Amino acid sequence: GENVEQHPSTLSVQEGDSAVIKCTYSDSASNYFPWYKQELGKRPQLIIDIRSNVGEKKDQRIAVTLNKTAKHFSLHITETQPEDSAVYFCAANAGGTSYGKLTFGQGTILTVHP
C-alpha cells in the first residue's frame, strides 16, 4: 500500500520567514495530494491540494509543488505569521479506483515565533 514520509517532524521559524515541508510517497498510481492544517484538538482542515496533472499550485502565501518522477511534493509557506503555527499533514490518495482513501504523513509541528 501507499506509504507517505514527511519531514521535518518539527520546524521553528521567525515570523516573516518561509517554511518548507517535504513529503515523499510510494504508490505511483497516486494522483491527488492534499495538505491539511490541524490546530490543537481541532479537525484537519484542507489548506491546499494538487493533482498529478500539474507541477505547482499557489494560493496567496501557500504553494505546493509536485515532482511525480521523484514521487515527492512540498508545501511552501511564505511570510509566515504566528497564526500559521499548527501541525501540518501531507497526504496522498490510493489512486486507481480508490475513493477518498488518504494516507497521511506523520505531521510537522510548525512554530512561528513573533
Looking at the Cβ atoms of 37 and 74, the one nearer to other proteins is 37
The Cα angle at residue 77 between residues 42 and 113, in degrees rounded to 5: 70
What residues from 13 to 72 belong to the interface with other proteins (CB under 8 A)? 31-32, 34, 36, 42-46, 49, 51
Q: Count CA atoms closer than 13 A to 75's CA, side-chain side.
A: 29
CA 11 to centroid of chain Cα atoms: 13
Q: Is the dihedral angle over the CA atoms 21, 25, 30, 36 positive or is it negative?
A: negative
Give the nearest distance from C-beta 6 to other proteins in angstroms: 8
State the DSSP code for 93.
E
Our finding on whether 101 is near other proteins (CB under 8 A) is: yes
To the nearest whole angstrom, how small is the minimum distance from the Cβ of residue 17 to other proteins? 26
**Interface with other proteins (CB under 8 A), residue from 14, 60, 83, 100:** 100
- 98 lies in the binding site for other proteins (CB under 8 A): yes
Helix H or strand E segment including 23: strand 19-25
Is 102 an interacting residue with respect to other proteins (CB under 8 A)?
yes
CA 62, chain centre distance (Å): 10
- Which residues form the interface with other proteins (CB under 8 A)? 31-32, 34, 36, 42-46, 49, 51, 89, 91, 93-94, 98-107
